[in-house]
């Protein structure tokens, strides 16, 4: 008799009759001299029948139990099997539940869902979000590793913000002042220049943005890529399209159950249309009478463009290219023919920016000028800027906001749903 640890997967394939199951009590019903206990673990739910001495067994839902029993075939359950319990042991009781989790749809507001994360995660639709997220991340690294990229780890405590602007969290660092990294931008470029050529990083980044919106977090996971020896920034967009295609393919293959639960379908990513920012603003003006902020798109504009590319190209994605210099960080490569604009792009997915990317400046003097034009003090960025005196290949890269990708894909109500423990302007707990 070998005792098995997991539920459905083991039960289905096991020829052994005796199983050990461990999980949470989803439900218990008493019917005459039988009780039916639905036991849930990470792989699913199975019915356990409690008879004889065990009939009428008292246990609170969501308690953690261990059941030893006999696995038998039955036509009465969806699984085609159930367990005739021989022994039930309570490992830990659930004394109190802030809300009911065993409903088909979780009927709580966002705040309660986040405040009581441990309980909301018990709902299969909620935990499914994080299984999808995990699969995306794994596919991202799988694809890049297969394509000769090296995973890197760069500091999150830094001396300067890499994205310009004032959105940095300050913190005391012994006798100095430091910041939480807004992105791994400088370091990923430095590692390309260091000779690794092709790198990626998966890590949290921090933005001190005081936005209480459905798409902003103050800490999010950035999927960063940077690679050298590129000809132009179209190569960067091509790599991103390839990575995303692979990520969605893997989620389609590995998360069938989760996608069914969440009623999500994997998009077909053929050629992603490219529209220059200027064209995009013109489309918004002529088609939707929508004015845009100078050199940028606003939330409403992004939404309308999402609608436009869906109608015109049947695409959920669109690259918006060639942002003006003023709208992009100091490290962005100006366009050869028109230096007022840059070789940069954003990727919109279902009308929301999920990525920024660009070719970077790899020429020392050009970089100094670019920093100075932004009013930045070159000496504050010395170790980064020195990189470009040591021989650095033409390079570029991009970063995908993981939570935004998941939020849009699963059509959640808010990006916070795609973060297990989100940090926003007011939320620091749990
Ligand atoms: P950017 O600042 O545009 O670019 O950020 C890249 C992507 O990160 C996500 N993102 C956010 N997600 C949630 N909450 C936020 N507050 C938030 N801010 C940004 C978005 C965005 O597209 N270094 C460059 C990337 C590069 O060029 O490689 C950068 O950080 O999905």
Centroid of ligand 1 to alpha carbon of 190 (angstroms): 19
Sign of CA dihedral 272, 273, 274, 278: negative
For 128-193, the DSSP string reads HHHHHHHHHHHHHHHHHHHTT-EE----SEESS-SS-SS---EEEETTEEEEE-S-SHHHHHHHII
- Give the model's pLDDT for residue 4: 46
Q: Is 57 exposed, middle or buried (0-12, 13-18, 19+ CB in 10 A)?
A: middle
Atom of ligand 1 nearest to the CA of 398: 28
Atom of ligand 1 nearest to the CA of 185: 23
Atom of ligand 1 nearest to the CA of 162: 23
**pLDDT tens for each residue of 164-181:** 877 999 999 999 999 999
Q: Is 290 exposed, middle or buried (0-12, 13-18, 19+ CB in 10 A)?
A: middle
* Residues with Cβ within 8 Å of residue 232, at least 6 apart in sequence: 343, 359
Instruction: List, for the chain, all residue ranges whose pLDDT scores fall below the cut of 70.
Output: 1-16
Q: Is 208 annotated as a binding residue?
A: yes
- Give the model's pLDDT for residue 105: 87
CA–CA dist 115, 109 (Å, integer): 10
- Just list the catalytic residues: 207, 209, 215-216, 353, 356, 404
Centroid of ligand 1 to alpha carbon of 240 (angstroms): 14
- Give the model's pLDDT for residue 1: 34
Residue nearest to atom 10 of ligand 1 (CA): 401
Burial 70-89 (b: 16+ CB within 10 A, else e): ebeeeeeeebebbbbbeebe
Q: Is 401 annotated as a binding residue?
A: yes
Centroid of ligand 1 to alpha carbon of 196 (angstroms): 23
Q: Is 403 annotated as a binding residue?
A: yes
Residue nearest to atom 9 of ligand 1 (CA): 401
- Give the model's pLDDT for residue 278: 98
3-state secondary structure of 287: helix
Structure tokens at 142: 């799988």
Centroid of ligand 1 to alpha carbon of 401 (angstroms): 6
Centroid of ligand 1 to alpha carbon of 72 (angstroms): 52
pTM summary value: 0.95
Q: Is 195 annotated as a binding residue?
A: no
Q: Is 404 annotated as a binding residue?
A: yes
Atom of ligand 1 nearest to the CA of 344: 27
- Give the model's pLDDT for residue 211: 87
Name every protein residue with a CB atom under 6 angstroms from any ligand 1 atom.
Answer: 163, 183, 185, 207, 209, 216-217, 220, 222, 224, 353-358, 397-399, 401, 403-404, 415
Residue nearest to atom 28 of ligand 1 (CA): 398
Q: What is the DSSP letter of 32?
A: T
Centroid of ligand 1 to alpha carbon of 88 (angstroms): 50
Residue nearest to atom 23 of ligand 1 (CA): 185
Q: Is 165 annotated as a binding residue?
A: no
- Give the model's pLDDT for residue 9: 53
Atom of ligand 1 nearest to the CA of 405: 31
Q: Is 373 exposed, middle or buried (0-12, 13-18, 19+ CB in 10 A)?
A: exposed
* Residues with Cβ within 8 Å of residue 13, at least 6 apart in sequence: none
């Amino acid at each position: 008799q070998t005792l098995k640890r997991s539920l459905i997967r083991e039960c289905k394939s096991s020829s052994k009759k005796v199983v050990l199951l461990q999980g949470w009590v989803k439900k218990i019903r008493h019917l005459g001299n039988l009780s039916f206990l639905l036991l849930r673990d990470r792989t699913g739910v199975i019915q356990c029948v409690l008879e004889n001495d065990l009939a009428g067994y008292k246990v609170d839902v969501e308690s953690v139990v261990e059941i030893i029993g006999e696995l038998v075939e039955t036509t009465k359950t969806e699984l085609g099997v159930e367990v005739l319990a021989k022994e039930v042991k309570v490992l830990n009781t659930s004394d109190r539940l802030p809300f009911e989790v065993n409903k088909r749809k979780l009927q709580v507001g966002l705040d309660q869902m986040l405040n009581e994360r441990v309980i909301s995660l018990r709902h299969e639709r909620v935990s499914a979000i994080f299984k999808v997220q995990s699969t995306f991340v794994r596919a991202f690294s799988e694809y890049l590793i297969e394509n000769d990229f090296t995973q890197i780890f760069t500091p999150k405590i830094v001396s300067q913000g890499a994205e310009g602007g004032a959105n940095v969290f300050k913190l005391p660092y012994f006798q100095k002042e430091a910041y939480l990294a807004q992105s791994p931008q400088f370091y990923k470029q430095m590692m390309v220049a260091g000779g690794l050529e092709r790198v990626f990083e998966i890590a949290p980044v921090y933005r001190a943005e005081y936005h209480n919106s459905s798409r902003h977090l103050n800490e999010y996971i950035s999927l960063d890529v940077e690679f050298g020896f590129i000809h132009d920034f179209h190569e960067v967009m091509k790599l991103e399209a390839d990575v995303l295609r692979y990520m969605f393919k893997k989620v389609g293959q590995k998360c069938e159950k989760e996608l069914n639960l969440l009623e999500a379908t994997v998009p077909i990513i053929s050629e992603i249309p490219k529209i220059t920012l200027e064209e995009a603003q013109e489309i918004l003006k002529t088609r939707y009478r929508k004015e845009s902020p100078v050199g940028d798109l606003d939330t409403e504009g992004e939404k309308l463009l999402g609608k436009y590319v869906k109608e015109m190209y049947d695409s959920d994605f669109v690259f918006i290219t060639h942002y003006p210099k003023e709208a992009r960080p100091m490290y962005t490569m100006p366009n050869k023919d028109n230096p007022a604009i840059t070789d940069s792009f954003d990727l919109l997915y279902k009308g929301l920016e999920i990525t920024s990317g660009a070719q970077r400046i790899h020429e020392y003097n050009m970089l100094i000028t670019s920093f100075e034009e932004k009013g930045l003090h070159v000496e504050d960025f010395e170790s980064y800027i020195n990189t470009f005196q040591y021989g650095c290949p033409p390079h570029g890269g991009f970063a995908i906001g993981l939570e935004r990708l998941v939020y849009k894909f699963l059509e959640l109500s808010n990006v916070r749903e795609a973060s297990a423990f989100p940090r926003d302007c007011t939320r620091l707990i749990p």
